[in-house]
């Protein structure tokens, strides 16, 4: 993966980019969310991405967040097109007992949130984001070998080139350092569906 192709949306004050390792130190009050349920809009989290017109690919990254400690601290994979069209997959710290492994998909300014509770002592997670044209799949793995599906979704505005990469943020009064390693782009690991055939146009 060519790190020279990475570009910031909202460059953070403190970060480091080295071969095979990226660190982002979050700033308090940073988040990504649009409207739904909470009726507020947050669009100030830093996102580091590369751009491609490739219609079929997978992006893999390992996240380490040993220092996350405050409610909603999070880091993970992102596909950020603009403030009203994006997706993210991450773990959000909740308390000393559990945290939320989940994903948010935002289309046309409205976010949803799908989660499952996992133990709070999990401090590392792999993610694989795959594209098949304007449909996407987010998967997670504890070891980078065995993958579990988190979400299949459609992005209405992902018609041509897209930007994808990583993000980290701390929505409340907190800060931690997220570490990203093992980043790579591969052929699409999300295979074509082998069940019911598509409807005829």
pLDDT recorded at residue 201: 67
∠ CA 169-18-184, rounded to 5°? 75
**3-state DSSP call for residue 5?**
helix
**3-state DSSP call for residue 35?**
coil
**CATH for the stretch 3-186:** 2.60.120.200
Q: What are phi and psi of 92, to 5 degrees?
A: -110, 120
Mean pLDDT of the chain: 95
**3-state DSSP call for residue 3?**
helix
Cβ atoms of 112 and 103 within 8 Å: the answer is no
Place of tokens 């690919």: 57
pTM comes to 0.95
What number is the average pLDDT over the span 34-60?
94
Domain residue ranges of the chain, discontinuous segments joined by +:
3-186
């Amino acid at each position: 993966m060519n790190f020279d192709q990475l570009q910031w949306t909202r460059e953070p004050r403190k970060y480091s980019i080295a071969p095979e390792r990226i660190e982002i130190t979050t700033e308090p009050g940073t988040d990504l969310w649009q409207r739904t349920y909470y009726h507020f809009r947050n669009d100030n989290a830093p996102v580091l991405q590369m751009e491609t017109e490739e219609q079929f690919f997978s992006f893999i990254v390992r996240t380490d967040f040993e220092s996350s400690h405050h409610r909603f601290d999070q880091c993970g994979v992102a596909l950020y097109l603009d403030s009203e069209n994006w997706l993210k997959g991450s773990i959000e710290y909740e308390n000393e007992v559990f945290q939320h492994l989940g994903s948010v998909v935002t289309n046309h300014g409205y976010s949803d949130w799908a989660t499952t509770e996992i133990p709070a002592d999990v401090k590392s997670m792999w993610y694989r984001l795959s594209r098949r044209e304007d449909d996407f799949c987010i998967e997670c793995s504890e070891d980078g070998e065995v993958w579990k599906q988190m979400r299949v979704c459609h992005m209405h505005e992902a018609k041509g080139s897209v930007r994808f990469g990583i993000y980290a943020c701390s929505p409340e009064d907190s800060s931690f350092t997220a570490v990203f390693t093992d980043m790579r782009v591969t052929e699409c690991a999300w295979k074509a569906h082998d069940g019911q055939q598509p409807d005829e146009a």
